[in-house]
Structure 1
């Protein structure tokens, strides 16, 4: 692949880098396809690569020893993975993989680590992103504890919509059940509620946002706080 121009990339973190920092990292970036189900990093394993998605949506899932699982975060062109490399933590216990196919750039973690050590602005930018991601996880926990499933579903749809071009989002019932930590019949019921209010249209494997403003109003305070924190730390990404 030829030279990567910063003005042409879509990943917000790469776009926000100072020119000198981008130039240093760009020479090591490799463009890759990211199909649905692609494993970005495995639990308790040091990742070989760090990924900066351009399109698509990745899911961060926590799993219990007995096999229970729930999504604790998502990211797309707004972020990168794994956070552990930014924190110099080696690995984390999460499963991180693509839920909506896309593409992006990757860099060997063996090359990224010295860049983080040498470039304070790169480390600061990615550190602010890790903070924003931790806030997203915290508010996901809060939402799971206090909000009704219909409001939680509206929140996740809005978050996916933020990271998608247009109003069509490729979301399966299986993905939604992981996002909401509920069984698939509960997902179907919640989708019917949103469809009945004409907020979305849902068909097999695809969802269309019909009324974004009304969907935000329906989600109430389940949506918005972690988005404001990202904007405070890094600015808008959509």
Structure 2
């Protein structure tokens, strides 16, 4: 399974999609904009093994925030939303206030509709992401993808009930390895974040869950088999929430 993948953005997306249908039981294809969601749904939609969801990636909010109303309408028709969130890194600080307004509007809509499962980007913005979620009880379930916050921010996110999706690329750094050790075992699911995430210069593929299990097993001091069992159990629980 893969709970965060930009499958539509691989250079050979149709081929990767065909392989995913054979290799994965489930793949969550997160899109970066409402227009991308519409286009990808038409081109790649049609399988219950691949969930395509609408989003508005914080990195492009500055240029695409006019699509917010379209996104809010799309959210009415789905049970999950992604990729959304905030990016507080220097590169995207110029759009940060707009990002906050967009993310707050998305979370507000999810709460008004009875809750959704959200795949959330939180780079250098964990405190603000958690604040927005806390301000809108009933928004649903937050899955913080490729979490890179501090240990104290991780503790706060866990206390707020957040889930976490993690892939092989998260282990490229010592900081990522240290955070992985602290992730709550009962709220972690596999992701690839391909094609953007890379290991040894190659894009991570959507069928990388075995590799993630091995790396998590090492971090948690359990076997790869035990880690895979944990990931599979968590994945089925999260899927139930996404399909409720």
- TM over 0.5: same fold? no
TM-score by length of 2: 0.29
TM-score by length of 1: 0.30
- Report the structure number with the largest CA radius of gyration: 1
The structure with the greater share of residues assigned to strand is 1
Query: Highest relative contact order (Cα 8 Å, sep 6+), 1 or 2?
Result: 1
The structure with the greater share of residues assigned to helix is 2
